[in-house]
Chain A
Amino acid sequence: MFASACGSDSDGDSSSKGGDTTITWWHNSNNEPGKGYYEQVAKDFEADHPGVKVEISAMAHEDMVDKLAAAFQSGDLPDIYMERGGGELADHVEAGLVRDISDDAADEIGKIGGSVAGWQNDGKTYALPFSMGVVGFWYNTDLFEKAGITAPPTTMTELYDVIGKLKAADITPISVGAGDKWPAAHYWYYTALRSCSEDVLKGAVTSLDFSDPCFVKAGEVVEDLLKTEPFNPGFLSTPAQEGATSASGLLATGKVAMEMQGHWEPGVMQGLTDDGKGLGDKTAWFPFPAVEGGAGDPAAQLGGGDAWAVSEGAPDEAVDLVKYLLSDKVQIGFAENDMGLPTNPAASGSVKDPALAGLLEVRDAAPFIQLYFDTAFGQSVGGAMNDEIALLFAGKASPQDVVDATQTAAADEG
Chain B
Amino acid sequence: MSNEGAAATAAPAHAEVTRRVKTRRVTPRQDGPWRQRLEITLFVTPALTLMALFVVWPIASAVRMSFYRWKGFGPMDDFVGWRNYDRVLHDQVFTDAIVHNFTIVILSILVQLPLGLAVALLLNRKIRFRGVLRTVVFVPYVLAEVIAGVVWFQLLQPESGVVDGLISGIGLTPPEQGFLGTPNLALGTVFVVLTWKYLGLAILLFMAGLQSVPEELYEASQLDGASWWQTQRRIAIPLLGPTIRTWAFLSMIGSIQLFDMVWILTGGGPANATTTMATYLINQGTGRYNYGIAGAASVVLFVIGFVMALAYQTFVLRRDTQTEG
* B180 x A73 contact (CB < 8 A): no
State the CA gap A387–B270 with chains docked (Å): 10
Complex CA–CA separation, A235 to B182 (angstroms): 10
The answer to whether B71 has its CB under 8 Å from any CB of chain A is: yes
> What's the Cα separation between A69 and B72 when bound, in Å?
8
8 A Cβ contacts from A157-189 to B:
178-181
Cβ 8 A contact of B181, one of A233, A378, A380, A387 = A233
Could you mark each residue 389-411 of chain A with 1 if its beta carbon is under 8 Å from any beta carbon of chain B, else 0?
01100111000000000000000
Which of B74, B178, B288, B290 lies in contact with A95, CB distance below 8 A? Answer: B74
Given contacts A73-B73, A97-B74, contact A380 B183 (CB under 8 A): no
A261 at the interface (CB under 8 A from B): no
Chain A residues near B267: list those with CB within 8 A: 179-180, 237
Q: Is the CB of A394 within 8 A of B73?
A: no
Which bucket holds chain B's interface residue count? Answer: 20 to 34
Count of chain A residues near B, Cβ 8 A = 35
A residues 79-112 in Cβ contact with B at 8 Å: 91-92, 94-97
Minimum distance in angstroms from A413 CB to a CB of chain B? 9
Q: Do the beta carbons of B159 and A380 come within 8 Å of each other?
A: no
Measured CA separation A395–B183 after assembly (Å): 10
**In the assembly, what is the distance between CA of A73 and CA of B182, in Å?**
38
Counted as pairs of residues, one from A and one from B, with CB atoms less than 8 Å apart, the total is: 92
- The yes or no answer to B154 lying at the interface (CB within 8 A) is yes
A92 to B71 Cα, complex, angstroms = 10
Output the nearest chain A residue to B177 by Cβ-Cβ distance: A234
User: Using a CB-CB cutoff of 8 Å, which residues 218-276 of chain B contact chain A?
Assistant: 266-267, 269-272
Complex Cα distance, B186 from A406, in Å, reads 26
Chain A residue with minimal CB distance to B75? A95
* Cα(A412)–Cα(B86), bound, Å: 12
Q: Is A75 an interface residue (CB 8 A)?
A: yes
Distance to closest chain A CB from B285 (angstroms): 10
Establish whether residues A233 and B73, one from each chain, have CB atoms under 8 Å apart when the complex forms.
Answer: no
Query: Is B289 at the interface (CB under 8 A from chain A)?
Result: yes
Q: Roughly how many angstroms separate A68 CA and B167 CA in the complex, as a whole number?
A: 46
Contact (Cβ within 8 A) A390 B72:
no
Residue contact B289 to A236, C-beta cutoff 8 Å: no
> At the interface, yes or no: B157 with Cβ under 8 Å from chain A?
yes
Alpha-carbon gap, A234 to B266, bound state (A): 11
Are A73 and B288 in contact, CB atoms less than 8 angstroms apart? no
Task: Return A349 CB to nearest CB of chain B, in Å.
Answer: 40
Cα(A389)–Cα(B92), bound, Å: 16
Q: Does A299 contact B (CB under 8 A)?
A: no
Does A245 interact with chain B (Cβ within 8 Å)? yes
Return A242 CB to nearest CB of chain B, in Å. Answer: 9
The reply to whether B269 and A237 contact each other, CB–CB distance below 8 Å, is yes
Q: Verify if A278 is at the interface (C-beta below 8 Å from B).
A: no
Q: Mark B32-52, 1 if CB is under 8 A from A, else 0.
A: 000000000000000000000
Contact of B73 among A91, A180, A387 (CB under 8 A): A91
Bound state CA distance, A324 and B72, in angstroms? 32
Q: Mark B268-305, 1 if CB is under 8 A from A, else 0.
A: 01111000000000010011111000000000000000
Question: DSSP class of A's interface residues: helix, strand, loop or mixed?
Answer: helix
A131 within 8 Å of B (CB atoms) = no
Interface residue? A383 (CB, 8 A): yes
B135 an interface residue at 8 Å Cβ cutoff?
no
CB pair A383 B72 closer than 8 Å: no
Residue-wise, chain B 159-188 has the 8 Å CB interface mask toward A (1 for contact) of: 110000000000000001110111100100
Residue of chain A at shortest CB distance from B83: A412
Q: A75-B73, A94-B74, A396-B183 are in contact. Are A237 and B270 (CB under 8 A)?
A: yes
Instruction: Kindly state the separation between the CA atoms of A73 and B285 in the bound complex, as whole angstroms.
Output: 13
Contact indicator A234/B180 (Cβ below 8 Å): yes
By the criterion CB–CB under 8 Å, are A179 and B269 in contact? yes
Minimum distance in angstroms from B89 CB to a CB of chain A: 15
- Is A233 within 8 A of B177, CB to CB? yes
A236 with B269, Cβ < 8 A, contacts A73-B73, A379-B287, A380-B289 known: yes
Interface pair A237/B180, CB less than 8 Å apart: yes
Cβ B178 vs Cβ A383 within 8 A: no
Query: Is A379's CB under 8 angstroms from B288's CB?
Result: yes
Q: How far is the CA of A234 from the CA of B186 in the complex (A)?
A: 11
Least CB distance, B149 to chain A, in whole angstroms: 12
B92 to chain A, nearest CB (A): 11
Nearest CB in chain B to that of A250: its residue: B160
Judge whether B158 is part of the interface by a CB distance below 8 angstroms: yes
A233-B74 CB under 8 A given contacts A179-B269, A179-B270: no
* Given contact pairs A179-B266, A396-B183, a sample of 15 additional A-B residue pairs in the complex whose CB atoms are under 8 Å apart: A178-B270, A233-B158, A233-B177, A233-B178, A235-B177, A237-B178, A237-B180, A243-B154, A245-B160, A378-B289, A380-B290, A382-B288, A384-B288, A390-B269, A396-B271
Q: Enumerate 5 A-B pairs (CB-CB under 8 Å) in ascending A order.
A: A95-B75, A233-B158, A235-B181, A236-B270, A238-B181
Binding site for B on A (CB under 8 A): 69, 72-73, 75, 91-92, 94-97, 178-181, 233-238, 243, 245, 378-380, 382-384, 387, 390-391, 394-396, 412
The 4 tightest CB contacts between A and B, nearest first, are A95-B74, A234-B178, A236-B270, A394-B271
